[in-house]
């Protein structure tokens, strides 16, 4: 691989990183099991946080759904 190839590859990687950062990935919907797998916390801990009001939840579909950004905010507190 030449220096030119390496430079082009780095440019592409930086562009992809920028697109990922700007994407809507942070607003992906997650189930309780998804949150459990993502955080490593128990279902009971997640439900307790919802009940206390410290973890935002949507129940419009009849089940608990969380935005990834809500979970990240809760974990960072």
Per-residue pLDDT at 18: 65
Output 39-42 pairs: Cβ under 8 A, ≥24 positions apart.
39/71, 39/75
Domain ranges (residues) in the chain: 25-77
Per-residue pLDDT at 75: 94
Closest CA to 31 of 73, 75, 68, 69: 68
Q: Are 68 and 30 in contact (CB under 8 A)?
A: yes
Per-residue pLDDT at 24: 61
Say yes or no to pLDDT of 22 above 60.
no
- Read off the tokens for 1: 């691989």
Instruction: Please state, rounded to an integer, the average pLDDT across all residues of the chain.
Output: 88
């Amino acid at each position: 691989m030449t220096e030119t190839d390496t430079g082009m590859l780095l440019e592409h990687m930086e562009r992809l990183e920028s697109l990922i950062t700007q994407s809507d990935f942070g607003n992906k919907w997650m189930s309780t099991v998804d949150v459990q797998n993502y955080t490593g916390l128990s279902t009971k801990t997640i439900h307790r946080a919802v009940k206390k009001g410290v973890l935002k939840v949507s129940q419009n579909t009849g089940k608990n759904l969380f935005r990834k950004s809500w979970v990240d905010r809760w974990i960072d507190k």
